[in-house]
Each structure stands twice: as C-alpha cells, then as structure tokens.
Structure 1
Amino acid sequence: MAELLRRRWKPDFEGLSRQDREGGSYESYLPDPLSGWNLSLPADLAADIADAEAEVRSLNASGTMHASLEGLARVLLRTEAVASSRIEGLSAGPRRLLRADFLLREGESFSDSRAAEIIGNIRAMEAAIDFGSTQQDFTLENLLEMHRLIMEHSRRPELGGSMRGSQNWIGGSNYNPLRAVFVPPPPGYLPELVDDLIEYLNGDQHSPLVQAGIGHAQFETIHPFADGNGRTGRALIHVVLGRRGLARDFVPPVSLLLANWVDDYVGGLTAYRHTSPPDSPARSEGAHTWLRILAVATRRACLYGRRYAAQITALYRDWNGRIGRTRKDSSLRLLLAALAGAPVVSVKTAASLIGRSTVNTNTAINRLVEVGVLTQRNVGKQRYRIFEAPEVIDLITEMEKDLDNPVQHDLHR
C-alpha cells in the first residue's frame, strides 16, 4: 500500500543558513502501483468526464470542416505547450516565440534562452502527439525522448532523457528536503514505478480522460526526472488522448486553464497522494478532486479551440476575398492555408510547407504582401528575410490573453 518512507538526510555544511546545513529525518511518499486499481467514481463526476470526452470528440470532428486542418492542429498544440511552460514560470509572447522557432530551425544560435526552452516544450508536445497517434504502445524510450526535447535548450540539457539518480523534492530548501512540501519516492523505486505507469498508459482499464488524468497524477507523484517533470507530465495527457483515439488531430489546450488554477491544480495532485489501503474508497476519493479539475479544464479548452477555429476560418475567407479567384491547388491558395499554423515563414520554409518551387512560392509571397496578408521583416544575426501573417499572430495573442484571465476563468464559477 501507499506509504510514507522515513528517511535520514546527512548534514550539508556548504549550506548558506543553519537550516540549509542541518541534517535530520524526512518522509518520502511511495505511491501504490496503478495496475489492477478498481477506481470508483461518483455518478456526477462520471457524467462530467463523459461530457468532457464528448467535447474533445466534437472538437476533433468539427475541426475537419475548417480551412486549414494542419494549421489549426499546429496552433492548438503550440498553445498547449506554451501554456504548460507558463505553469513552470516560462513565458514569452507569440511573435517572439515564432521568430525564435524560425531561427532555431535555421540553426542560428541566439541569446533568448527563455524562448528556446519553451520551444523545446513545443517539440516535446509534437513528439507526444506523434507517439500517441502513430504507435500502438508508448515506451520508456518515448518518455525519455520527450524529456530530452524539453531539456534540450534549458540551462541543464545534460539532465534530459535520464531518470534521476538522487532524491528530489518540492519546496523548502535547495540543500535538503527537511521542510519540503512534497518528497517523491527515492530513486531506487523508480524503475518499477515507471514500468507500472507505462503499462497503465498502454491499457484501457479506465476511460480515456480518466486514464490521462490518473497517468498524469501518478507521473507527478513519482517525479522521475531531476527537472522538467511538470511539462513532461502534462504532455503525457495528450499521449493518452491520442492513443485512445479521442484527440488524434486537435489538442484541447487544457494547460491554458490549469495555468489560471495553479493552487487548485496542485491541491488536486496533493489530494491524490493517499496513505489508505490500495482498494479503499479513500484512494478513489483522493483522485476525484484532480479528475474534476481536469474535466472542467478539458471542456473549456475545447470551447476555446472551436472558437479559434471559427476565427481562423473567417480570416481565411477574408484572405481569399483579397486575392480573388485562383485555382485551389495554386501556390497562393496552398500558402494561405499553411499560414494558419505557420504564421512566420521564409521563402524556403514556405516552399517546403506547400511542396512548390521557391520561384512559385516567392511569387505567391509577393502577392500576399501586396494584399496585406504578409509583412516582411528581417531577423537574426544573418538578417534572414522572413514574412509574418500579423492577423494570425494577433488571433493567437488574443486567445492567450483571453484565457489568461483568473476572474473570467475561475474554476468555481
């Protein structure tokens, strides 16, 4: 059964304060394995979860009717990854991130480490969606690769892709866990716990959203990495939703809501960490708080996903009116559709996106500059010539600002 392990911490005489230097006893939490858990849900929570799952299906079904399927998918995925980073204190505006992403893809080094670290999380989210939608089973190697991508542009890239070999903790001193808010299991327990988690993620004993929520809570409880656990754990939600067929194309950006509810979010994960018998009602009750939060976040995220889809489709129609009649397979039309998900391009990247020659693509770009769809900029040390779709960037900015409203998006309203 889940238990608190009594451990001893040796004094560290390099600490700055007396509390930092002291040794003593502390408790680390060892969770129950997930395999075979007969989780029970009250009727109202089961109904909320079913409603949230129906909203995800609706988002994915309605998304296929919009102008740029791939573009919409990219924007929702990117929005989720950016919001997940914001929960960890990493934030940057859409235009700044899009330009940084372009420079990274060009292989140019630059000093915006915060933007680069957020882009690492976008890459990890892309991998999570790919793993969930294209593979039958999620593997340990997949998990480590997601973490490697998250840490690749961080201050500690060497931590990426490896499970921790020492005790970590949340809160308190940087030198010891004696006053920590939470202490995860010691490293010796990680292989068995992570194997059990991956087996659970590959099963279907619970409904998709329940599985995603429980998998996330268990991962955050295990805290298997030295850093980057929160972002990796939220990406796991989308691995499950993709693997179970609930969100194969369009990601509900749940982290946009969780970023406004950090205290409730952390409280839900804390309630999950019970010390009751494995099949007791108390264990199930411990999971209910977090699952309720996830259900509400998922429903509201789908609402905003559909709203953005409608806005980008309206913008696409306006663009088509500006350029006049052209063939559906023309470079101009193909580029318009691509801009929804890639609002910052060069001639080379745009040509790659639409599968046309750079000559034809350059002609299309010049036309879109003429009608005000694109604006030319120069960025980076090499002064790369890029083209931005400011109306798309403004839509993304407004969506993120709208959701970054603690009063409007109060969990308990």
Structure 2
Amino acid sequence: MEVVEIKSERAGKNINVLSGEMSYKAFEPAPLPPLPHIKIDDEMTFLLSKAHRLVGRLDGISEQIPNIDLFVAMYVRKEALLSSQIEGTQATLDDILDPDIEENTNLDVADVVNYIKAMQFAISRLQELPLCNRLFKETHVVLMEGVRGQEKSPGEFRRSQNWIGPQGGNLKNAVFVPPTVEPMEKAMSDLEKFMNADDEIDPLIKAGLIHYQFETIHPFLDGNGRIGRMLITLWMIVQQLLKCPVLYISYFFKRNRIEYYDRLTDVRTKGHFEEWIRFFLNAVVDSASDACNTINELTNLHKVNYARIEALRGRKDTLFRLLNYIENNPIIYIAKTAQALGLQYNTVAKAVEKLVGLEIMKETTSFKRNRRFSYTQYLDYLRKDTQL
C-alpha cells in the first residue's frame, strides 16, 4: 500500500498494524486542541469576524419571517440531498419532493429521506442530551434504517477496521485509513470531552476542528460523512449561534469537493490546521450569505404572491391555504392535496386553476388524469447547486 508520508505529527501519526503481507498503517489522531494552538493571523481574524456577522444576520432574519418552519423544512431537505450527493447518492430535489415519494422511493431517495429524519431526531434529542457519543449513535440508527449500509452495525461504533478509498478497494490501495478500534474509541471519548469543554476557543474555529476530527476518526462503518456534516449544524445550535437549523455548508463542500478532501488530508499529513480553518470559515461565510439571500428571496416571493391573491375578488381562504401548502410541498397532485387539506377535489382544482392563471403555479405534465403542478418559482430558488 502506498502510504501518504506524514510530514508533521501535529494532527497525529501513522501506526503500523499487523505484520508481513497483512501489515498496513492506520492514522491515530492527536487529541484536540492541536499543539501548537491555532495561529490566528489577520486573514483568519477577518474571516472570523465576517463569518460571525453573517451567522448573526442569518439568525436574526430567521426569527423575523413568519413561515420559518416551512423554510427550515425545505432547507433541511436541500441539505440532506447535497450531503447525500457528496457520498455519491444519485437523487435530485424533484425526487425528494415527489408527491408519490412513498410509492417511488428507491435507495438513493431513501438515503436523503433518512438524513432528514436523522437531523430532526438529533435536534429534538438536544433538548435532553448534550452533544455526545450517545447522541451520535442514536442519530446513526435513524440515518441507516432500511437503507444501504443498514447491515453495518447501525448505532454502534465500529468493531473492525474501515478505510477510505476507491469503490471495491481495500487496505492496500486505501486513500486514508482511520484509527484501529481501540484508538478510535479513545479518540471519540477525547472528542466528546473537547466538544463539551469550557474553553476560550472561538466556537466557529471549534466547529471546524470538531468536523475535521470526526471525519478523521471515522467511528462508524458507514454514514460518517453525513453525521459529520450534520454535526456542524448541531454544534451551531448548541452554541446558540443559531436558534434553528438554517445554516448548511454541504453545498459549499460539494462545489469544492476536491479542495475539501485535500484540506482534510493536509491536516493529517502536514498539520495544516490553519489552512483547513480558513477553508471552513469561507464555507460558513458563503453558506450563511446564501441562506440569507434565499430567505429574503422566498419571503419576497411569498409577499408578492400573497398580494396577488389578496387583489382577487371573492373568497380567498382556499387560495391562501393552497399557497401555504405548496410552500412546503411545491410539487403536487390535486387529489393528494385535497386529501391533505381536507377539501373537496373540485374546490382544490379550481384553486389550482386560479394559481396557474396568476402564474404562481405551472402544470408540469400533459396527462388528462393525475396532472402534476409545481410552484416553479419556489423550486428554482431551491434547486440551486442541487443538480447532479
């Protein structure tokens, strides 16, 4: 196996495992915080200030919009999709929003649906648990239920060696080999202590360190990347940087996937924590800015379309209910929508026809029966960066 040379042991070191033809090297991470401590230069100070300012702005905006729960529900779906796409999941936003999702769910879609459930579960558990290994394990059960990897000990830290490398690869051609079982367990115990330590490390720097360390330890046989990215959002909530989960940086990692993996590797092999932290802070800045813009765009879209409905003559109760519904379900069938709203089919059909006339909705099929309609403007905002 060609092992990447360790030029600095600041982040850890490679350890020889087994002997003879069975031998390989596994990386044992050093406990956090790194020594020497993170050097905060002028560039990092600028990035930190900008990141905190934008995260604070995002948190403030999210408190002011009346339909934040709808926005969060949609944004969690987008984050779930992007995080799963990084792992190779072949699903699109339209797949996740398919009104027939229960009938049409395949393994790719199921991966994303489980991520949504896992995120919602983890946030609810934070009311009772700190950010800890127990929370990771319980969340992992939800993430892996009924999908690929469900046979790989859901909810348990691994009892065997894993590695990162090409599909169908092995320890001999692995790109990275995480610690063996006992050092992994110790590393996760150390990470748990670090997460809950009362220290003076800036919480955004600490978020980057925690994410790096979790990905390096790789405590599960599968699902590490998704749990590790979820951890960033959970940390933000625990640190009260955000009151609800409106910041996701998977789209930045996806768009900069090669650099993302290179930065992680450079920490392990060269001890370049500062370069990783700068990359991470840029991800926070970019993602927070994007989330602020998206909230503003969707809020303005809601106001404009609400006003267009308000300007119509006659009763508008059903139209307003339908508008609220499509903001959470932007792809619909009339029959299922009528059932969900507890209304007659013809009542919903007429309301949909009016929204189509206002160019709020658009028919996206040419069938006479089971016609599908979309809230296209809303979808266009959310589809950004989600295409395969």
What TM-score comes out, normalization by structure 2 length?
0.81
Check the 8 A contact 1:60/1:250 in 2, yes or no.
no
Partner of 1:115: 109
Partner of 1:178: 172
**Residue type at the aligned position of 1:7:** V
Q: Using a 3 Å threshold, how does the CA distance of structure 1 residues 59 and 359 change in structure 2: closer, same or farther?
A: same
Check the 8 A contact 2:77/2:112 in 1, yes or no.
no
* Distance of 1:103 and 1:37 partners within structure 2: 49
Shift of 1:352: 10
Q: 1:309 aligns with which of 295, 313, 317?
A: 295
Q: Using a 3 Å threshold, how does the CA distance of structure 1 residues 217 and 363 change in structure 2: closer, same or farther?
A: same
**Residue type at the aligned position of 2:208:** G
* Distance of 2:156 and 2:74 partners within structure 1: 29
Listed as ranges, the matches of 1:236-385 within 5 Å are 236-273=231-268, 286-324=272-310, 332-344=319-331, 358-359=342-343, 363=347, 366-372=350-356, 373-374=360-361
The percentage of aligned residue pairs carrying the same residue is 26
Q: Using a 3 Å threshold, how does the CA distance of structure 1 residues 161 and 125 change in structure 2: closer, same or farther?
A: same
Listed as ranges, the matches of 1:13-412 within 5 Å are 23-34=21-32, 39-43=37-41, 44-99=43-98, 103-104=101-102, 108=103, 110=104, 112-132=106-126, 134-135=127-128, 137-159=130-152, 160-171=154-165, 174=168, 176-205=170-199, 206-273=201-268, 286-324=272-310, 332-344=319-331, 358-359=342-343, 363=347, 366-372=350-356, 373-374=360-361, 388-398=374-384, 400=386
**Residue type at the aligned position of 1:342:** N
* Distance of 2:190 and 2:85 partners within structure 1: 29
* Distance of 1:94 and 1:253 partners within structure 2: 16
Shift of 1:273: 2.0
* Distance of 2:24 and 2:92 partners within structure 1: 41
CA deviations 1:120-166 (Å, max 9, x no partner) are 2222233344445x346123232113222332242221222222111
Secondary structure at 2:173's aligned position in 1?
coil
Q: Using a 3 Å threshold, how does the CA distance of structure 1 residues 348 and 191 change in structure 2: closer, same or farther?
A: farther
Check the 8 A contact 2:96/2:113 in 1, yes or no.
yes
Stretches of structure 2 that go unaligned for 5 or more consecutive residues are: 1-8
How large is the RMSD of aligned CA atoms in angstroms? 3.4
Q: 1:5 aligns with which of 12, 15, 21?
A: 15
* Distance of 1:333 and 1:9 partners within structure 2: 70
Check the 8 A contact 1:82/1:91 in 2, yes or no.
no
Stretches of structure 1 that go unaligned for 5 or more consecutive residues are: 11-22, 275-281, 405-413
Check the 8 A contact 1:29/1:185 in 2, yes or no.
yes
Q: Using a 3 Å threshold, how does the CA distance of structure 1 residues 54 and 389 change in structure 2: closer, same or farther?
A: same
* Distance of 2:256 and 2:156 partners within structure 1: 30
Q: Using a 3 Å threshold, how does the CA distance of structure 1 residues 138 and 351 change in structure 2: closer, same or farther?
A: farther
Shift of 1:32: 1.7
Number of residue pairs matched by the alignment: 367
What TM-score comes out, normalization by structure 1 length?
0.77
**Residue type at the aligned position of 2:263:** G
Shift of 1:111: 5.5
Secondary structure at 2:172's aligned position in 1?
coil
CA deviations 1:37-81 (Å, max 9, x no partner) are 773332221331232122111112123333521122222222222
Check the 8 A contact 1:30/1:184 in 2, yes or no.
yes
* Distance of 2:260 and 2:346 partners within structure 1: 47
CA deviations 1:165-209 (Å, max 9, x no partner) are 111111268464133221111112233222222232233422221
* Distance of 1:197 and 1:362 partners within structure 2: 57
**Residue type at the aligned position of 2:136:** L
Check the 8 A contact 2:18/2:24 in 1, yes or no.
yes
CA deviations 1:7-27 (Å, max 9, x no partner) are 1267xxxxxxxxxxxx34221
Secondary structure at 2:222's aligned position in 1?
coil
* Distance of 2:120 and 2:207 partners within structure 1: 17
* Distance of 2:264 and 2:297 partners within structure 1: 35
**Residue type at the aligned position of 2:323:** L
